[in-house]
Amino acid sequence: MAYIILRVMINALSIVAAVKLVEGITFSGQWWKMIIIGAIFGLVNSLIKPIITLFTFPFIILTLGIFTLIINTLMLIITSHLSESLDLGLQIKGFWPAFWGAIIVSIVSMILSWLTGVKKIKYYRDRDHN
């Protein structure tokens, strides 16, 4: 549970950084709405991103991984559309602000995850307990 809360906070702070640094990304809601947006972003990345990654895997291979920037951009755009439909206050005006915002979100998230020691949860089967 602590992992999920910390992950949502990291997502929210990463999106705040994108709002502050990228022209074309705005947030007009109250602070607690950004926490909800962080949770939505986490859900989008957990549920939708693996499916899109699976279907675009050949493009990821052909571009040596650079296509993942487009996937991350799409995840941020989806989060923005969900935010707008729920009246949470996050707006992204176009592809390029979303693209640069996705880069900022990725970098800030990576740094905050490193500083807090949060790592992705890895599921594995213990071979001794079949």
Residue 126 is assigned to a structural domain of this protein: no
- Specify if 128 maps to a domain: no
Flag whether 121 is in a domain: no
Measure the CA–CA gap between 48 and 40, rounded to whole angstroms. Answer: 11
* Residue 118 confidence (pLDDT): 81
Radius of gyration of the chain (CA): 16
- CB 20, CB 54: distance < 8 Å: no
What's the CA gap between 101 and 20, in Å, rounded? 10
29 confidence band (pLDDT: 50, 70, 90): confident
What is the rounded CA–CA span in Å between residue 55 and residue 71?
Answer: 11
Write the single-letter amino acid at 6: L
> What one-character-per-residue DSSP string does 28-55 give?
-S-HHHHHHHHHHHHHHHHHTHHHHHHH
> In this structure, is residue 53 part of a structural domain?
yes
Number of domains in the chain: 1
23 in any annotated domain? yes
- Asked, for residue 124, whether it belongs to a domain, the answer is no
pLDDT 10s digits, 110-124: 999 999 988 766 555
Residue 63, pLDDT > 60, answer: yes
Cross-strand bridge partners of residue 90: 27
Range of the domain at 92: 2-116
User: Is the residue at 21 inside a domain?
Assistant: yes
Within a domain: residue 123? Answer: no
